[in-house]
Chain A
Amino acid sequence: MSVVAAPRRTQLWVWLLLTPTVVVYGVYTVYPIVASYWYSLVEWNGFEATKTFVGLRNYQEVFGDHLFWNAFWITVLFVVVVVPAKVVLTLLLAILLNSPKLPFATFFRTAFFLPVVTTTAIVGVVMQFVFDPASGPINQLLVKIGLLDQGVNFLGDSSAALWTVAGVYVWKWFGITMIYWLAALQTVPEEVYEAARIDGAGAWQLLRRITLPLLKPFAVIIALLSIESALKIFDLMQTMTGGGPFYSTEVMEIYIYRWAFTATIPQLGYASAAAVLFGMFVCVVGLLQLLGVRAVQRARVER
């Protein structure tokens, strides 16, 4: 393409442009990634600077901690529940909103997008009140219409808390996925629909034979983005449940946060080992999906 081999003097300018990124990104992202590996091999309580090398002991302990596996599986479960719900429902909504026959489409779009721009941590706090067992509007409504005799402790009950947060998460991030789908739908040229209509295709046929196949590459990207962000849930969970009750909503990021910052004696080495394992997991998931994106793109070219 238009990437040109730069002469020597220009190379200097190029590196000058890169300097800010190299410096801040290097210090705050690349170095920490590398340093985490080192930290994960030491025992270090965070109050003192002394770090004692302990080899792989932290990893051994992390692997042996059932709460680590608890956090891992809760994170996976959360992703498995939240991503399909969000991705599929928003696709349906986007198809409806994309139709010129639907009145008030802009209004709907704005309303569904509203929670996306609001601060997650603040939404989390507000939701604590919305779901309050005694006086929260959700429980009051359920009692008033006779579905319940008394309020349910949506966030204080360990069997309900994760699902409540999952519901709020889908609610919160619904709009952004919807916008992604709408953008994808707009890439389908109108002529394709017209040609198919002339061939006698009905609305269902158009959807199944044209819209959905053409959306496939976008589906992979949208799923990738959704999975990656759901894996990293912290703000909402921390402000709604703080990982409780009884660790029933303790996702990976909260597990790391707990050991590194809120434990009575912080265990930074131990937390780093958990962080490294979690980081690797996120990267592997991302990598697999990127390979998936490439496979889809290649299949598309061949077709």
Chain B
Amino acid sequence: MTATTTAPRPTTEQARPRRNRRSGSWLLRRLPWWIVTLVLLGGVLLWIYPFLWMVSASLKDPLEIFGSGLNLLPDTLLWENYTRAWVDADFSRYMWNTVVVTVVTVALVVIRCAMAGYAIGRYDFAGRKVVVVVLVATLFVPTGYTIIPVVEISQQLGLLNSLTGVILALTGGGHVAMILLYWGYFRQIPKELEESAVVDGAGFFTIFFRIMLPLAMPVTATATLLTFLSTWNAFFLPLVFTFSRPDLRTLSVGMQAFVGENTTDWSGMAAAATLSLLPVVILFVVLQRHFVKGLAGAIKQ
């Protein structure tokens, strides 16, 4: 379809920019690809160096970090930095909190968005317009805008200093984009599919859970990854919810506090950071293609 919009206008394209073409395309065509590759390799170094530096610092003596900051290979490998972060600084606990919060939130968000997207995408019902308008109007709400009432209401519900409170608040915020993704996907599934299911005697929920939800697997994969990333990395909300309960901190909040409390323990900091980032990085490397495909799919819609 796009082909027809551009292809049938060759006359103007040929007629005008003769001169322009020569100088421009000459540069691009002669530009050897290996120079580009070298430049990009330089960029890559810039992109991964902070991670390499962090891992190397996590195995160094604090004095060594101070003395030879650029050297990536430690003199001796000090694994006890990790013990210190994992046991003494409570990172085992933060890791557990983060895993619990992330797993439950992702599950809740994905199922609730799938259900909402299906309802809005396929049915015309009383109040549909209101739901749609509210969702679209709140697409871009910043966390800072809602945080005060969220804390207030959580306090009244007795959920302020609890993981349940964090999970519910994370589940209830944002995620409109996810509903829109499901909406778009469910909308384009042909009606006949449902009709034949009804003929076969399937009820509303059977159709949704046994036919529609499995069909939406690609969207579910995208939604899961996006929610996983945003929840695992969440900072503002867990920070505010755990002011008075350090034992409920997640990794990102614990990290912040770690630096505040141990200003001089650089090796411990680096070890803690490595521990905190390792699970996502491993997951990303393993699922790399799906990550990229999922995000790409989201923008194409």
Contacts and interface: CB of A to CB of B under 8 A. Distances in A.
Q: Decide whether A and B are members of one complex.
A: yes
Interface in B148-199: 148-150, 152-153, 168-169, 171-175, 179, 187-191
A202 B149 CA distance: 58
Contact of B143 (A114, A136, A253): A253
A93 B33 CA distance: 13
Interface residues of B, number: 119
Contact of B297 (A93, A183, A279, A303): A183
Contacts, number: 343
Contact of A122 (B141, B172, B252): B252
A252 B145 CA distance: 10
Contacts of B65: 135
Nearest to B124: A5
Q: Closest 5 CB pairs between A and B? A: A28-B172, A202-B25, A204-B24, A183-B296, A32-B149
A39 B25 contact: no
Given A2-B190, A13-B205, A113-B292, A278 B111 contact: no
A246 B33 CA distance: 47
B261 to A, nearest CB: 12
Contacts of A109: 292
Contacts of B119: 14-15, 17-18
Q: Which of B190, B191, B233, B288 has the most CB of A within 10 A?
A: B233
Interface size class of A (residues with CB under 8 A): 35 or more
B255 interface: yes
A241 interface: no
Contact of A235 (B150, B187, B236, B284): B236
B25 A204 contact: yes
Contacts of B251: 119, 122
Contacts of A129: 57, 266, 269-270
Given A119-B276, A171-B47, 5 more contacts: A26-B172, A113-B284, A114-B284, A268-B148, A300-B5
A107 B288 CA distance: 11
B221 to A, nearest CB: 15
15 contacts: A11-B125, A15-B125, A32-B147, A110-B288, A113-B284, A119-B235, A119-B251, A119-B252, A119-B280, A122-B276, A126-B54, A127-B50, A208-B24, A210-B6, A278-B144
Contacts of A63: none
Interface stretch (A52-60, A77-85, A152-160, A188-196): A188-196
B122 interface: yes
B87 interface: no
B3 A231 contact: no
A174 B27 CA distance: 26
